[in-house]
């Protein structure tokens, strides 16, 4: 009987290669400086370029410079939620243990970025539209995304048994992913006050290259920064999990707890 | 340049958020690394950053 591995088996084996926390911690420690330093340099260059050297818009004037902060945040708000949905698939289909921990860490960062996207959008809208907020399709769908992040954060911590929280939050992340195409296409499907996309995969950008380049640099810097923060939080999460498992294991528990009490780490004890 | 307060508020908000998240993550990582090293030392193992028994234990406690 020849049982050749199926696609699902091969994909599961690939994903579980990094389910090993030790292997992940090594990979994370190696990746961290390669994410952090380029993120700092590119973000500072992009924002400095956008703030001081890029031209003002002929209609919007200098307030167009808010774009160099707002657009990267909007991109990361959607991408972060897409990452949550991928983690949900990895968790529900392959029971990948790091996918659950990654979902725990991505949620708060994604929520902060989405809140910043909404706030900077309001700060851009007030001088341009004359109002902080309108119930426009794009704005409302991003607000829904923010509530989905908050729901995910609350749900994943809502159960005494973490596995139940992971499972419930994964289902919410998958169901909420339907909001992503709504956000993307809202400016095409409905008449909105929000401007249509200036950059698309299929057409040439409708903005000047003098604005496009600082925007791309800033977006790349923000993206690497997002990844650096998530990797750092995930490394810390894996270590905290390890600490909890060491504290709850019976072997030499008394001496370990005494050592932790001395080092002020008692609050991590379960 | 009447839009300057809006621009400064947007950049300030993004900068404050980036600092809050990155410093928070760095401090949390440093604290957990120290605590794990203390624990591992109490158990008679080498301090780890993913190089010892952490890898064999699995995430599930």
Per-residue pLDDT band for A261 (boundaries 50, 70, 90) equals very low
pLDDT of residue A1: 47
Residue A57 β-bridge partners? A61
Region A151-166 average pLDDT: 92
Cβ–Cβ contact B19 with A under 8 A:
no
Kindly tell me if the per-residue pLDDT of A15 is higher than 70.
no
Per-residue pLDDT band for A267 (boundaries 50, 70, 90) equals very low
- In chain A, the residue whose alpha carbon lies closest to the alpha carbon of B26 is A232
Judge: A120–B33 Cβ closer than 8 Å, yes or no: no
Judge: A22–B48 Cβ closer than 8 Å, yes or no: yes
Name, in order, each residue with C-beta under 8 angstroms of A85's C-beta and a sequence gap of 6 or more.
A173, A174, A176, A177, A180
Mind listing the pLDDT tens digit for each residue in B9-60?
A: 999 999 999 999 999 999 999 999 999 999 888 877 655 554 444 443 444 4
How many residues are given for chain A?
Answer: 270
Mind listing the pLDDT tens digit for each residue in A93-103?
A: 988 888 999 99
Total domains, chain A: 1
Q: Point out the residue among A97, A127, A260 whose CB comes nearest to the CB of B38.
A: A260
Whether A203 maps to a domain, the answer reads no
* Domain encompassing residue A72: 67-193+208-248
- A236, A240, A243, A251: which to substitute to probe chain B, counting the most B Cβ within 10 Å? A236
Mind listing the pLDDT tens digit for each residue in A169-217?
A: 999 999 999 999 999 988 888 887 787 777 776 766 677 888 899 999 9
Per-residue pLDDT band for A63 (boundaries 50, 70, 90) equals confident
pLDDT of residue A209: 85
Share of chain A above pLDDT 90, in %: 55
Whether A241 maps to a domain, the answer reads yes
Give ipTM to 2 decimals: 0.83
- A115, A123, A268: which to substitute to probe chain B, counting the most B Cβ within 10 Å? A123
- B47, B50, B60: which to substitute to probe chain A, counting the most A Cβ within 10 Å? B50
Whether A150 maps to a domain, the answer reads yes
Whether A223 maps to a domain, the answer reads yes
Q: By the 8 A CB rule, do A259 and B38 touch?
A: yes
Whether A110 maps to a domain, the answer reads yes
Kindly tell me if the per-residue pLDDT of A229 is higher than 50.
yes
Whether A2 maps to a domain, the answer reads no
Q: Point out the residue among A23, A228, A246 whose CB comes nearest to the CB of B55.
A: A23
Residue-range domain boundaries for chain B: 25-43+51-61
For B43, how many CA atoms within 13 A lie in the half-sphere containing its CB? 25
Judge: A225–B57 Cβ closer than 8 Å, yes or no: no
In degrees rounded to 5, what are phi and psi of residue A61? 70, -145
Q: Give how far Cα A16 sits from Cα of A53, A93, A184, Å.
A: 47, 12, 32
Nearest CA-CA distance, residue A34 and chain B, Å = 15
Region A140-162 average pLDDT: 94
Judge: A69–B14 Cβ closer than 8 Å, yes or no: yes
Q: Which chain A residues contact residue B42 at CB under 8 A?
A: 252, 255-256, 259-260
- In chain A, the residue whose alpha carbon lies closest to the alpha carbon of B8 is A66
Whether A43 maps to a domain, the answer reads no
The pTM (predicted TM-score) of the whole model is 0.84
Name the CA radius of gyration of chain B, rounded: 20
User: Please, which residues 22-61 of chain B have a Cβ atom closer than 8 Å to chain A?
Assistant: 22, 25-26, 28-29, 31-36, 38-43, 48-61
Mean pLDDT of chain A: 85
Whether A114 maps to a domain, the answer reads yes
- In chain A, the residue whose alpha carbon lies closest to the alpha carbon of B17 is A112
């Amino acid at each position: 009987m020849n049982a050749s591995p199926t696609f699902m088996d091969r994909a599961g084996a690939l994903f579980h290669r990094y389910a090993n926390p030790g292997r992940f911690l090594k990979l994370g420690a190696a990746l961290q400086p390669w994410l952090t330093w380029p993120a700092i340099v590119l973000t500072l260059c992009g924002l400095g370029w956008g703030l001081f050297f890029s031209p003002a818009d002929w209609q919007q004037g200098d307030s167009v410079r808010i774009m160099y902060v707002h657009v990267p945040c909007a991109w990361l708000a959607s991408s972060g939620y897409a990452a949550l949905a991928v983690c949900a698939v990895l968790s529900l289909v392959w029971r990948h243990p790091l996918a659950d921990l990654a979902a725990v860490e991505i949620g708060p960062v994604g929520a902060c970025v989405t809140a910043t996207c909404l706030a900077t959008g309001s700060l851009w809208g007030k001088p341009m539209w004359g109002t902080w907020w309108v119930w426009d399709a794009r704005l409302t769908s991003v607000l829904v995304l923010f509530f989905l992040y908050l729901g995910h954060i609350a749900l994943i911590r809502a159960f005494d048994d973490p596995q139940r929280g992971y499972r419930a939050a994964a289902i919410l992340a998958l169901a909420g992913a339907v909001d992503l195409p709504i956000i993307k296409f809202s400016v095409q499907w409905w008449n909105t006050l929000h401007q249509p996309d200036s950059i698309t995969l299929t057409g040439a950008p409708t903005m000047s290259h003098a604005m496009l380049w600082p925007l791309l640099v800033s977006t790349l810097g923000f993206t690497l920064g997002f990844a650096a923060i998530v990797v750092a939080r995930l490394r810390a999460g894996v270590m905290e999990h390890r600490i909890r498992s060491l504290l709850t294991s019976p072997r030499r528990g008394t001496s370990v707890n005494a050592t932790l009490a001395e080092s002020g780490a008692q609050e991590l004890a379960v | 340049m009447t839009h300057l307060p809006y621009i400064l508020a947007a950049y300030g908000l993004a900068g404050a958020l980036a600092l809050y998240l990155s410093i928070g993550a760095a401090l949390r990582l440093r604290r957990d690394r120290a605590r794990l090293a203390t624990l591992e030392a109490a158990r008679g193992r080498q301090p780890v950053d993913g190089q010892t028994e952490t890898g064999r234990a699995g995430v599930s406690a």
